[in-house]
Amino acid sequence: MFVCICHGINEKAIQQAVSEGAKNVRDVRRSLNIGSQCGQCVRQAHQVIEQAKQTAAGAEFYAA
Ligand code: FES
C-alpha cells in the first residue's frame, strides 16, 4: 500500500528504511523524501515507522 502518493513510497520502503536505522519521520524524510510535498502522509508514515520498530524489537527479543 502506498503511504506517500506524491513520491510513490510504500510501506515496504519505509520498513526497509527503519531496518537501516531510521527512527522517526525526520529520518525517513532524509532518505526517502517522504512528507516533503503535501505532507498528507506524515501521520500514516509515523504509524508505519512505529509498527516497524515494534516488529524489529520483537524480532530482537526472540533472537536473543
Ligand atoms: S503524500 Fe507524501 S508528501 Fe504528499
CA 60 to centroid of ligand 1, rounded, Å:
31
The alpha carbon of 41 is separated from its chain's Cα centroid by a whole number of angstroms, namely: 11
| 4-48 confidence digits (pLDDT tens) | 999 999 999 999 999 999 999 999 999 999 999 999 999 999 999
For 35, 41, 63, the CA distances from 48, given in Å and listed in that order, are 13, 10, 22
Q: In the chain, where are the structural domains located? A: 2-63
* b/e per residue 39-50 (b: at least 16 CB within 10 A): eebbebbbebbe
The CATH number of domain 2-63, selected from 1.10.10.1100, 3.30.420.10, 3.40.50.2020, 3.40.980.10? 1.10.10.1100
For the question of whether the overall pTM of this predicted structure is more than 0.85, the answer is: yes
CA 19 to centroid of ligand 1, rounded, Å:
22
**Element (H or E) spanning 57, and its range?**
helix 42-63
Pocket of ligand 1 (CB under 6 A): 4-7, 34-41
For 11, 12, 57, the CA distances from 60, given in Å and listed in that order, are 21, 19, 5
